[in-house]
A and B are shown apart, each in its own frame.
Chain A
Amino acid sequence: MAENPLNFDMNTLVSTWMKMTTDTWGEMSKTAGSNQRPSRSQDSLDSILKTWRMVSSAISSQDNLNAQLAGIGELPNVLLKLAQASVEGVSRFQERARERLDRAADHHGLFNPDSFDDSFFDDWKQLYETEIRKYLNIPQLGLTRFYQEKMNQVVDKHQLLQTALGEFIFILFKPIEESMKTLQDQLAEQPEGGLTGNTKEIYQKWIGILENNYARQLRSPEYLKVQGKVLVAMTDFSTIKDEILQDMASSLPFPGRKEMDELYKELYRLRKRVRELEKNSQPQTTEAKT
């Protein structure tokens, strides 16, 4: 039976290819080197070729060839396992995201405009602190880790400030809403619905109701709590914002606020000391000169 030209031995093919490649580069380097003066590039090329000959002779050995070919045969399995791991990772991430959204959906007031009330802000803050804030608190790595952490803190404090301000504006708006309703109720009890065309009278009535509502609201524990939250949020954001700006300013050729504050403090102490010394050095006269 005639030999099928398509049947070939992989080992023989690889070893033949390696030999041809080595011989080709070797002949080329001899030809190039013979007509030129020794140079740095020639030396580099020679060392590369020597390394290649060593590697090719090692690879060409039968045992090594068999091991390599077996490894190449395993490549599809390896790739499949990598793909499986990636898909599992993505599906786990999606699963966790779905769980977070489910938990967020438990705060149903956040997504229902009809149930917008005082608890909205507490619900939002709770959602933010449990689901979102932890990503901002992930420790940072590397040379710039402190700056990265400060940026995260700015984002965090800004978010808390916006929430506190929103709640503050809401609580300031409530007396206006209540006063409108009270006015409408009072007008409805009057003859002609109170609509006598005297807008001044209606306005005076409304402003009186509004003033009383504010007087009550602004003393309430609820308002005091919200006011406290706003002040805390403002001071926290202001502090971290100043730190960021201070860091930026440190690379500029003028002093930042921190340096100036230290200078002012020193100046204050010195000035006070000088005045004390001046007073102590002058004779004490409580009686006026005549």
Chain B
Amino acid sequence: MGNHDCCTVQGHDIQNTIMATKPTISIDHILSRLAEDSQKAQSLLDRASNVLLEPLETEIAPTPYEVVYQEDRVQLKYYKPAGPIRSKKPLLIVYALINRETMLDLQPGRSVVQKLLAEGIELYMVDWGYPTRMDRYQTIDDHVNGYMDNVVDFIRHRHHIPSVNLMGICMGGAFSVMYSAMHPEKINTLVTTVTPTNFDTEQGLLHVWMKHIDADTLVDSVGNLSGDVMNFAFLLLNPARLMIDKYVGFMEHMDNKEFVENFIRMEKWIFDSPDVPGETLRQFITDCYQKNLLIQNKMELGGRRVDLRKITMPVLNFYGKYDHLVPPEACEKLTKAVGSRDTEDICLDTGHIGIYVSSKCQQLFAPKIAAWLLERQTEPDSANKTAHPKETRKQTPKTGKSPAARPKKGTPGKKSRLATPKKVNR
């Protein structure tokens, strides 16, 4: 062999070495996968068109109710259990001004309303309606000490009872907390769910944004805050999941009729956003999000101080571990701030609305509330209802344990976590 042959052999060796180390992209494999995927997509589209073009059951709030009271735009819905009524006192549910209370009765099988009715609890639910420009001057005081007080009085007189059970959700929970502090004699028990009471947290993105908003300029220029603007702001909290991934998931399952119906129901609810009255929004942003007055007992409604220590009735406080709108830090301080000795925190492994719509939470949430309410049917004596200032409470433990053994986050006791592994995003 001559030099040329030697070099050629060496060249071949070098070339083979390069070929061996260089990553090879199997184009045929990729193309075959793509072909498969496109075939699957085609058949999916065919099935999806059958589903979408057929009638779909997407009605929400199917449980029948009766409107028993109306004041301005506000209505009070009454739900009567089909079976025997086990609760001596009805439960009044107060939803937030943002979105609609129909979420609690989204569909059969995922309805907190139906679950509570099945447990024999009589239900009333406030429907805040759709505020118009005429409502722009209504304040938090008008909602709490106006509408809510009138509704509570109506229920009390209707049932001939001195007090009612009250359950608040999100901003409605904050209203319920304020109401209970200002009218403790009218409230038998208080249930709060995903209720922000401590706004001094950076856990939630909404809390970060609200601190930088000029509420006065905003409300002075627009009056009521448009529901569409709020929807857009909520979508911006997690645009990747809420504006892209959610709809990719829909397209992947749009041949599944049940999935499509559930999805549409949720879409109907999510984008059904009433406007928020301007003055209410102004005070909520300024006094709650920016100054955090509520948990400090410094908030005022109609010139009267809201003192959480006057909440002396039993309190059950639910919140979601993965709630990005009202993070746990915003909820968990309530039970320590109230004057009641009978309090319980329950942290669910879910997000903001997963508590109400997740199938696993459905098994835990409503039955827990019903059982808790039924345990507290009898009117407590006056001694138990006496307000205990915070200093006194420390010396008189709520659970019979010494103050040093006060349950900490994550430990068993009056604070528990009901495990639901699936996170549900709004």
Is B162's CB under 8 angstroms from A218's CB?
no
Which residues of chain A come closer than 8 Å to B408, judged between CB atoms? none
Q: List A residues 150-205 near B (Cβ within 8 Å).
A: 172, 191-193, 195-199, 203
Contact of B33 among A198, A211, A218 (CB under 8 A): A198
Q: Does A9 interact with chain B (Cβ within 8 Å)?
A: no
Is B23's CB under 8 angstroms from A193's CB?
yes
Q: A193-B23, A228-B212, A275-B146 are in contact. Are A218 and B161 (CB under 8 A)?
A: no
Contact of B241 among A192, A211, A267, A286 (CB under 8 A): A211
Nearest-neighbour CB distance to chain B for A226, whole angstroms, equals 11
Selected interface stretch from B132-140, B284-292, B355-363, B387-395: B132-140
Main secondary structure of the interface of B (DSSP, over half): helix
Q: List B residues 10-37 near A (Cβ within 8 Å).
A: 23-26, 29-34, 37
Q: Does A56 interact with chain B (Cβ within 8 Å)?
A: no
Q: Does A47 interact with chain B (Cβ within 8 Å)?
A: no
Is A232's CB under 8 angstroms from B142's CB?
no
Q: A224-B209, A264-B133 are in contact. Are A214 and B239 (CB under 8 A)?
A: yes
Bound form: Cα–Cα A148–B179 in Å: 51
Contact with B along A226-253 (1 / 0, CB 8 A): 0110011011101100100000000000
Contact of B23 among A191, A210, A211, A232 (CB under 8 A): A191
Interface size band for B: 35 or more
Contact with A along B228-248 (1 / 0, CB 8 A): 000000001111110011001
Is A207's CB under 8 angstroms from B26's CB?
no
Which residues of chain A come closer than 8 Å to B248, judged between CB atoms? 203, 207
Contact of A197 among B33, B162, B218, B245 (CB under 8 A): B33
Contact of A192 among B24, B157, B205 (CB under 8 A): B24
Give the 5 A-B residue pairs with the shortest CB-CB distance, closest first: A197-B33, A235-B221, A197-B30, A211-B240, A210-B240
A-B contact pairs, 23 of them (CB 8 A): A172-B236, A191-B23, A192-B23, A192-B26, A196-B29, A196-B33, A197-B29, A197-B31, A207-B244, A211-B241, A214-B238, A214-B240, A218-B236, A219-B208, A227-B209, A235-B221, A260-B133, A264-B134, A264-B136, A288-B161, A288-B162, A289-B160, A290-B160
**Contact residues of B with A, CB < 8 Å?**
23-26, 29-34, 37, 133-134, 136-138, 142, 146, 156-157, 159-162, 185-186, 205, 208-209, 212-214, 217-218, 220-223, 236-241, 244-245, 248
